[in-house]
Structure 1
Amino acid sequence: MSRFTSPLTLGILLSAYQLTGHTAGFALSEQSGSGLGNAYAGAAAVAEDASTIYFNPAGMTYIAGRQLVGALHTIRTSGDFNNQGSISPTGRPLGGEGGDFGGWAFLPNIYYKQDLTEQLKFGIGVGTPFGLKTEYDRNWMGRFQAVKSELKTININPSLAWKVNEQWSLGIGISAMWAEAELTSAANLGPAGVTTAKNKGDDWGFGYNLGAIYQITPATRLGVAYRSKVEQHLKGEVRSPSTVTSASPTQTLNTDITADLTLPETFSFSTFSQLDDRWDLLTDITWTRWSQFKELVIRRDNGSNSIVGSTAEHWNNTLRYSAGLNYRYTDTLKLRTGIAYDDEAIDNDHRTPRIPGNDRIWLSFGASWQYSPATKLDIGYTHLFIKDARISDDQRAAGRGLLSGTYEGSAHILSMQFAHNF
């Protein structure tokens, strides 16, 4: 297996991907249609609708009665690789630059909240906190590192909130998260030729989230929220039609694999201030502990517990900063805007074609229309300006060549949300 390390990419994919993930690593901020218009500024404090279940469950104490919220986010990512001195594996054609490896994605959220008592509230949310899909041309020059990458997640998040008094609200939630990853790449078999390999695996992981809101004045409140790490014990398989022949007996590339992976915790601090009868100011800082992802070890799942491969990671903790404004144009129409800046978790020296993103700026706009006393419609749009990323991924010693050049990319997000009280 020394010339075929594609099983490693299963864990690498689940560890990070920046361009499609929109925030540090491969996390998806798109958990609310109303929040998108503010670039998710104030998300842990605004408590505008039941989507607060994800951002800060304590916010349920600010929502009267029963409420159902549904949102759909349409995402279009674009990305291109520009070759600058790549070298193919010995005896293999270099290939093209891969084309546009972005694409379309559709992410839903749904939330339900109800009162248990005057002080105690219950809610449940279902959404997609992590995800990606990228696909290069099959014969591009980096095909031995990556061709197709797809990650799907579903998070189920029941929560409780308690209104302690007029100033304090507290919240807690439990997360059950399912993840499935699928990857394809070319495998260099040396004199035996080239084959393709498909990697697929899934797992359930569990975590929790906590939140608190403090009402400083009737017009201003602070929110803090914490989402715990989630331990994933991945089980998957590598499947290929070809075999590798060496001095020892023939080995098949087909194998079952396992890998332990820790998804990072996050901590958010948000503010919401009603400046006057027209304007609101929202801010947020979110910290993500990506540095705890230090090493990835992939093992055969055949009882021998032998190591397929391991790789050291070089991740940095990240900060996301955002600020937003609301303007109440009429009693039924609210206009939104926001801006955010996201750190990259990986530096230039450790970037791979599965992780080609960089720091980015969000520019967001949105509107809320109170259609009736019980029903509200939100729409939001964001453009992501992503800084060009340099890559020099030298894997010639492993028979996969050198990929050298720059990445450029951008993303568009359009969200619609429906909220109904009953």
Structure 2
Amino acid sequence: MLKTSMKLLPLLVLGAVSGTASAAGFQLLEQNATGLGNAYAGSAVTSENASGQYFNAANLADLEGRQFSAGVNYIELESTFNNSASTNPAGHPNLGKNGVNGGDAAFVPNFYLALPLSKDLTFGFGLNAPFGMRTAWSKDWVGQYYATITDVKAMNFNANLAYKVSDQLSIGGGINYQKFDAQIETALNGAPFAGSRDANFAVAGDSWAWGYNLGVIFKPSAATKVGVSYRSAVKHELEGKYSVSGFTGPGAGVALATYGFTAATGNGKVNIKLPDTFIISATHQLNNKWELLGDISRTSWSDVPELRVQFSNGSADKVSKYDWRDTWRVAMGANYQVTDAWKLRLGLAFDQSPVKEGLRTPRLPDQDRVWYTIGAQYKLNKGSNLDVGYAYVKAKSAHANETSASPAVTGRLVGDYESSVQVLGVQYSMNF
């Protein structure tokens, strides 16, 4: 039964993660539910169970015995677009539908193992989803010619080793083998072409690529821990297929050529570099009841200057300019030990958006956001515990004023996005 479950895990992770990012960009911080209640403050020095290895492989060195940890986070995005001054391709006010709940929901699972190889050396393995996003706008909304569906997801296999150099110092590192899937769709305006209806452009592809992670933990005192970790960028070369469907009438061929396509179907590819992340964390045990946690992280979103779809049949490249910036995230949290069995968690975080004003798109209408979190842990027995956490993530109102290179075909999109995310997570951990 265990072998069968292990074989199914990758399918469950990749299938379930087709949802939406809660962190800035399309990053998913929800790699466990243990840290959710603290807004993932102190992530690079939190070694309560095997799941801590994702944020810092050196966390494995503090674990005792063989450990297993698995969990799931339910992430629900609500995103709406309020039209204010959008125009249609003719230049008149666009009376199309506002974007209603363009966000989506997903279950994001995780799985971890920790196996001591010797007194000071520990092996770890993790299966998780570090990136994922889905926005789905209706095909008759006011911005249909800019975006309808965007769906990206990554599944990550991570093998780690940690070594306890001394009681004060631990080091760790690992390799990552990652699968990345992407799908994008957009409506194409058929009105300018004799007798044609609108069409749908869709492209999908996938890729496998390698990455690595490194970490260190230093304990200046029995009550204080400081950790630093780095997770590398991963360069993906996605290959897949595209299709254009829906153009009709005598103008169908002209419409296809006008949009730069030599054929209605074909092969395509996209190169994308998923960003690296650098984390500095600290925790301090004030007394036998209170623990304070802090976290500063940096993600190199400037590695994503554009999304360029290239075609093998000579069709013109489809380019979306992003010009994203690197981002910072600051988190703080506290744990309160109520009884030997119960622990309460609180957290607060500020998460900077990589999206610059003037370059915001409905594919990712991102804006700076604040995390408000709460959680609890219950020790079921000496060797197992259950964590639950909840986060409400509120993004600032995000203004859009988007004009394509061909406004006579796409119109102009002007309005405001309102977005929020709710996350509910549960994690089970045990020694075996």
Same fold (TM over 0.5): yes
One-letter amino acid of the counterpart of residue 293, structure 2: L
How far the C-alpha of 1:183 sits from its partner, in A, is 2.4
SS in 2 for 1:246: helix
Q: 1:212 to 1:203 in 2, by over 3 A?
A: same
For 1:231 and 1:103, the matched residues in 2 are separated by: 26
1:282 is aligned to 293
Q: After TM superposition, list the pairs within 5 Å mapping 1:20-419 onto structure 2.
A: 20-90=20-90, 94-189=95-190, 190-191=192-193, 192-242=196-246, 244-246=252-254, 251-302=262-313, 308-395=317-404, 397=406, 399-419=409-429
- Check whether the contact 1:24–1:288 (CA below 8 A) recurs between aligned residues: no
One-letter amino acid of the counterpart of residue 205, structure 1: A
How far the C-alpha of 1:94 sits from its partner, in A, is 4.2
SS in 1 for 2:35: helix
How far the C-alpha of 1:324 sits from its partner, in A, is 0.3
How far the C-alpha of 1:307 sits from its partner, in A, is 5.2
Q: 1:387 to 1:400 in 2, by over 3 A?
A: same
For 1:74 and 1:292, the matched residues in 2 are separated by: 28
For 1:29 and 1:109, the matched residues in 2 are separated by: 11
RMSD over equivalenced CA pairs, Å: 2.0
1:8 is aligned to none
- Check whether the contact 1:396–1:402 (CA below 8 A) recurs between aligned residues: no
Normalised by the length of structure 1, the TM-score is 0.91
Over the matched positions of the two proteins, sequence identity in percent amounts to 37
1:7 is aligned to none
Number of aligned positions between the proteins: 402
After superposition, the C-alpha distances for 1:255-305 in whole angstroms (9 at most, x for unaligned) are 211121111111000001111010000000000111232344332134x6x
For 2:306 and 2:141, the matched residues in 1 are separated by: 29
How far the C-alpha of 1:46 sits from its partner, in A, is 1.7
- Check whether the contact 1:245–1:251 (CA below 8 A) recurs between aligned residues: no
After superposition, the C-alpha distances for 1:376-417 in whole angstroms (9 at most, x for unaligned) are 000000001110000001126252111100000111100000
SS in 2 for 1:33: coil
Determine whether 1:420 maps to 2:430. yes
After superposition, the C-alpha distances for 1:310-329 in whole angstroms (9 at most, x for unaligned) are 45432111000000000000
For 1:238 and 1:373, the matched residues in 2 are separated by: 54
SS in 1 for 2:254: coil
Greater than 6 Å deviation, 4+ residue runs: 247-250
How far the C-alpha of 1:102 sits from its partner, in A, is 1.9
- Check whether the contact 2:402–2:414 (CA below 8 A) recurs between aligned residues: yes
2:5 is aligned to none
Q: 1:82 to 1:137 in 2, by over 3 A?
A: same
For 1:263 and 1:382, the matched residues in 2 are separated by: 25
One-letter amino acid of the counterpart of residue 26, structure 1: F
SS in 2 for 1:416: strand
Deviates more, 1:85-94 or 1:44-53: 85-94
* Unaligned segments of structure 1, at least 5 residues: 1-18
- Check whether the contact 2:20–2:105 (CA below 8 A) recurs between aligned residues: no
* Unaligned segments of structure 2, at least 5 residues: 1-18
